[in-house]
Amino acid sequence: MTKISRRSFNALVGAAGALSLAGGLSACSSGPRVVVVGGGFGGATAAKYLKRYDPSLDVTLIDAQASHFTCPFSNTVLVGMNDMAYIERKFDKLNTMHGVKVFTDMVTAIDPATKVVKTAGGKTFEYDRLIVSPGIDFKWNAIEGYDEAASNVMPHAWKAGPQTVLLKKQLEAMPNGGLVVIAPPGNPFRCPPGPYERASLIAGYLKKHKPKSKLLILDAKDAFAKDKLFKEGWEKMYDDIIEWVPAAKNGKVTKVNAKDGTVETDFEKFKPAVANIIPPQTAGQIAITAGLADKSGFCPVDPNTFESTLAKNIHVIGDAAIAGDMPKSGYSASSQAKVCAAAIIALFKGEKPLPLSAINTCYSLVAPDYGISVAAVFAVKDGKIASIPNSGGVSPMGANYQFRKKEADFAVGWYQSICQDSWA
């Protein structure tokens, strides 16, 4: 997202520019200072649980936006199941209920030597420990022609907000009989089942409102998260709408042209009515700027504390971190945040940090009444975060309607709970 589109979006939804929530319960915070960069699932949960585990800590959360639009459930917004307000999370309860100081500002620099964070608004924040939870940014031009400007024509919608609104409008405006292309990236990327949930819900929308239309998934991979389950659902419900083209069948998009609206693989050229290009990703820009990422574009961390292996006293959590078997999901970020919060408190006390115990549970909607899930529990093995054997995994194949409906209901319950647990 460009700064301009962010600003105009803020203006659109009426969110104020500079805002700080620095009063509230924070008066009793005389302990060590923790600054948290980013108010998504990772950052918000970290700030809340730091105060929960040790109310004496002085905790500050800084996010560039006045509120956070979650990627989970943003696919339901695209097809009109929910509105933007449904996925908007505000930071006020972190302050009023938990005593976190909240600032709306963009962190532009981190100095590990002096332990200072600087912002675009000209503020400086000193920390004893820093948590960086910036989510992702995009590798512009990794797909030829797909730069930030092109994303305003062919939205990625892989950060929720104005991009979500843009893609929704394009879907509404496309003609019956038009082609939708979704182009998911290769691994690793944010929310591995996300593109396929999106394809499912959009196919459901097309089936109902524009039944002559087609949806083509041009994939950079040959396999994807929950793929057997998605394909089972697609065969039942969207057989004449969705076509998935794997990399092995030249599905990978190599070039786009935002001017004439074309999308190309090595062998074919398409002119879709709607092109949803999800480009390859890196850790959020501030993590790159601060030198926290390695050659992969993501951030190596200690598996028990999430402290950067490249910078002392700085912890990286969520999508930006290299976290072994843990997928880049909101639940992972939130679970990592709790482990990280506990570790930071132990480190302040000079104690040995506890071993990691974390969970990922993630639901996808194949239709509004058809949910599927993946779950795993994690511990550290041989220095890496690993799923615990003989547990976890995906929903069963061949389950009946009641089972899928129950998981769809749990998907909504999941969303309500994790938003409460992270921001309230």
Partner 1 sequence: MRGFPVTPVLRLAFGLALAPLALVGTAHAADQVAVMADACSGCHGTDGHSVGGMPAFSGKKADELKKVLHDFKSGAREATVMDRIAKAYSVEQLDAIADYFASRKK
**Which residues of this chain interact with partner 1, rule CB under 8 A?**
25, 28, 49, 51-56, 98-99, 331, 334-335, 338-339, 341-342, 345-346, 354-355, 357-359, 361, 373, 375-377, 379, 388, 390-393, 395, 403, 406-407, 409-410, 412-418, 420-422
Q: Which amino acid is at 249?
A: K
CB of 5 to partner 1, least distance (A): 31
CB nearer to partner 1: pick between 114 and 390 = 390
**Nearest approach, Cβ of 351 to partner 1 (angstroms)?**
10
Which of 147, 152, 141, 190 minimizes the C-alpha distance to 42? 190
> Please, what is the minimum distance in Å from the beta carbon of residue 171 to partner 1?
27
CB of 386 to partner 1, least distance (A): 11
Query: Kind of pairing, strands 101-104 and 124-126?
Result: unpaired
Amino acid found at 150:
A
In 3D space, the residue among 226, 224, 202 whose CA is nearest the CA of residue 213 turns out to be 202
Q: Considering the complex, state which of residue 260 and residue 382 has its C-beta at the smaller distance from partner 1.
A: 382
Residue 127 in tokens: 């920390």
Label residues 107-122 b or e (16+ Cβ within 10 Å = b): bbebebeebebbbebe
Under 8 Å between Cβ of 310 and 291: yes
From the CB of 168, what's the least distance to partner 1, in Å?
Answer: 24
**Dist CA 270 CA 131 (whole Å):** 43
Minimum gap (Å) between residue 226 Cβ and partner 1: 13
Which residue number, 19 or 379, has a Cβ lying nearer to partner 1? 379
Facing residues of 62 across strands? Answer: 37, 103
> In whole angstroms, what is the distance from residue 10 CA to residue 26 CA?
27
Minimum distance from residue 410 beta carbon to partner 1 (Å): 6
Tokens representing 185 are 């990236």
Q: How far is the CB of 399 from partner 1 (least distance, A)?
A: 9
Query: Which CB atom, from 46 or from 220, has the smaller least distance to partner 1?
Result: 46
Q: How many CB atoms lie within 10 A of CB 27?
A: 8
- Cβ proximity to partner 1, 138 vs 415, nearer residue: 415
Place of tokens 């998009």: 253
CB of 192 to partner 1, least distance (A): 17
Nearer to partner 1, 62 or 342 (CB): 342
Contact 252, 265 (CB under 8 A): yes
Q: In the chain, what is the greatest distance between 2 CA atoms, to the nearest angstrom?
A: 65
State which residue, 237 or 379, has the beta carbon closest to partner 1.
Answer: 379
Q: If we measure between CA atoms, which residue out of 400, 404, 379 comes closest to residue 389?
A: 379
**Is the Cβ–Cβ distance between 132 and 292 less than 8 Å?**
yes
Closer CB to partner 1, residue 104 or residue 329? 329
Q: Which of 134, 133, 116 is nearest to 125 (CA)?
A: 116
| 194 vs 371, beta carbon nearer partner 1 | 371
